[in-house]
Structure 1
């Protein structure tokens, strides 16, 4: 009886096992590495570079302010020292806020770029899914392991570049 039950369960499991065609893709990377993505990223990259240069300049000025304060702290009156420390702390806060704002703005620029490229990427991905008869496509960033031949990112980049 146990053998018969075991065989029956085994047959049911075998019948329920279904071979699935699975692929992984880094959709964001495909969009950004495609020709259209590279062209579209030129202006946002310039904007981010300008923000980065401005932030480095501000950080340099802040560092100079700190060095000047350290150099002068023994010769300043307690009131002047307090005023300069307060001014330094305020400036440091402004630079920190500027950095955070620039980081948000850079992420927003990237998201806007991704959003503008997504329709082309989706069309290309749907074509690949249909041609390969894929049952499941996973985001490469969330996959622990996948064989190299299951990664369709390069194929997606090529398809986007062809404009198909």
Structure 2
């Protein structure tokens, strides 16, 4: 719905501005795919991989607990069975909470990376706008259709790579 609304606004802008030269760009992708973006993403990717490894370790422990409980279920005293089921449920809650926290942290790392790269990307984009004499540049995510030559994402990546 949000994208559709954005596309309609974009189309209205195009009609009302009577732009001669229109381009679309995936600014986020350009930032992350540029050489500087890849270089800056090394540490955040490492942090996310470490978080993922911790999560998988916890999931493995939980799986072992569940298998052990299933194996021992018929031989355990009712109090011990109840205790281990509670421990398993608490472990499952812990893993779910851990996964949600890791997703938030990964998203935050990406946002910080985007913020850090934005000034360089904006400078390169301004150069392209000036050189091509563009009247309007729209975010590719908001566009339903654009000719291939209207997309300047690759050009922006190349420009950012040149300006290291």
Indicate whether the TM-score tops 0.5.
yes
Distance 1:96 1:17 in 2: 49
Q: Which runs of 4+ in 1 moved over 2 A?
A: 16-20
Counterpart residue number, 1:59: 59
Deviation for aligned residue 1:17: 9.0
Q: Deviations over 1:73-100 (max 9, x none)?
A: 1111111111101011111111111111
Larger Rg: 1
Deviation for aligned residue 1:18: 3.8
RMSD (Å), alpha carbons: 1.5
Counterpart residue number, 2:138: 138
Counterpart residue number, 2:105: 105
Q: Deviations over 1:92-115 (max 9, x none)?
A: 111111111111111111110110
Counterpart residue number, 2:12: none
Distance 1:148 1:64 in 2: 52
Q: Deviations over 1:105-136 (max 9, x none)?
A: 11111110110000000011111111111111
Deviation for aligned residue 1:19: 5.0
Structure 1 unaligned blocks of 5 or more: 1-15
Kindly indicate whether residue 26 of structure 2 is the aligned counterpart of residue 33 of structure 1: no
Deviation for aligned residue 1:162: 1.0
Structure 2 unaligned blocks of 5 or more: 1-15
Kindly indicate whether residue 156 of structure 2 is the aligned counterpart of residue 161 of structure 1: no
Deviation for aligned residue 1:24: 0.7
Kindly indicate whether residue 46 of structure 2 is the aligned counterpart of residue 46 of structure 1: yes
Distance 1:49 1:120 in 2: 27
What TM-score, normalized to structure 1? Answer: 0.87
What TM-score, normalized to structure 2? Answer: 0.87
Number of equivalent positions: 149
